[in-house]
Each structure stands twice: as C-alpha cells, then as structure tokens.
Amino acid sequence: MNGMRIDVHVHGDMDKLAVPPEQYVARCRALGIERIGLIEGPESVFAAHEALPDFVIPIVRVDIDVVTAAQLHEHMEAGGAGIKFIDPQFSYGDTRYDPLYAAISERGKVAVFHTGYLGRSFGAHSRPTDITLMRPAAVDCLSRRHPDLKIIMAHYGNPWWEEAWKIAWSTPNVYADLSGGTAFKRSLLMWRETLAPNGKLDEEGVGKLLFATDVGYFEGEPDVKPYFEFYDALLEAVGATETLRERVNRGNALELFGLG
C-alpha cells in the first residue's frame, strides 16, 4: 500500500457509525489511512477490532493507578496490541509501576504513554493533574529498567520537545508521535532545527517518529488533512528520504505492532 499511512493514535466509538463498517474503512483508505491505532477502553477497542480486524489496532486505555498486571495480561491475551497510560498519580518512572511495564514487555506488546500537557477537559478527578509526572524524562527513567519494552511517547512531550527528541534519539526502544493539537501548529523552523540542525538530517531522530493524529474516527470523515500536510511539510523540510518517510508513515507502526 505505497503512499498509505497508519494513524497510530486515534479515538472513537464504532457504535456511532452511520454507514456500514466496510464502507467506512473504504472511505478512510481512499483518504490514505491504511489502519488505525484505536485508543479506548477494552470493550470498545475489542468490539471494533472484531468487526474490522484488518483496520483497527486495539490499544487498551487503562488507569495506571488502578489496573493490575494480571488485568493487563487479560487485555493482551484478548488481543490487545498495546496499552495506553495517561494521567498518573506518580511519575511514570516510579518503580511502583514496574510490574505493569514488565507484563507488557513479557508479551512483546507496546506501551503508549501520554507525554506532556494534558487538556483540562480530560476526565473528572478529585486530584489535580500534574503534567510534570508525564515528562519524557520519566519515560527515559523507566526505559532504563525495561530495555525490551516497546514504547511510544504520544505527543512528543509537548511542551518538552527537545527533551522528547533526546529520549527518542538516544533510546533504542522509545519511539514518538506528533499527534494532538499543538505539534502541527509549531513553526517548521523549530522542527527543522530539531530534526535537521544546520541543515543536516538527523536520520536517527526522524526515524523514531510515527504518523498519528489524535482525531476522532467513526463519526463522519476523520479530519486528518492538517496532519497529512504537517507531516509532509516536516519531512520535506528536513530532507527525509523516501525510505525514511515510509518508516514514519507506516513502517515503524508495522514493526512495533508486529503487523509486518
């Protein structure tokens, strides 16, 4: 599927489809979306994956401070390709979470971490969100104890962009996406100096990126155009080769999720 992309970070409820599932997938593929990494609760992602096994990559969102390692094993045994963590009470790097990370690593699945800023509309909590607990540095901390854990830093650590670059660039098992409402609004000058400083392509840094949007699917046509334009402009600005573009757009996702 040359020219297609895998959108590794999306949300949505398939119950809201207004057209047959197969018709919706055909529309998405006409837009250039080969597959999606659907991030929702287990019931929702497994239902979507059962209906559309060649389109939906099920990534189960859990409460990191409530879920147990045994429950994670159950989710992965049921077909979960990844586990999404967000809004922890303690730093992602805290050793209390090690049994969860070990469970994911043991099964060769992917751990997706929300990194950086979290919108104020997320959830309803009795405690305030502390975005410093979700810095890329916390991912670096845990990755040193779990070198075989496959990791995606969602949102590239916004606003700790350079910190995210350093962690992804220097850590073999850490990848990152540029999904969400902020990265694509930043100046291309910033991204060019981050990923091609002084005009020299940082192939290792660019090679750790994955295409992702964080938009909603299943309710009408997904609004992916701004992200297509952003990723294309970024990859053009840094002088990425076709091989590198393919890795970012779909190759890294195929490898991480074992879809080869």
DSSP-assigned letter for residue 247: I
Phi, psi of 146 (to 5 degrees): -130, 70
pTM: 0.96
| CATH code of 53's domain | 3.20.20.140
Chunked into runs of 10 residues, the chain (260 residues) has average pLDDT values of 87 95 96 98 97 97 97 98 97 98 98 94 73 98 98 97 97 97 93 96 97 96 96 97 98 95
The answer to whether the bond into 159 is cis (omega within 30° of 0) is yes
DSSP-assigned letter for residue 258: T
Q: Within the chain, where are the H helices?
A: 21-31, 42-51, 69-77, 98-107, 136-145, 161-170, 188-195, 203-206, 225-237, 242-246, 252-256
| Six-digit token string for 48 | 């979507």
Number of domains in the chain: 1
Residue pointed to by tokens 């990859």: 235
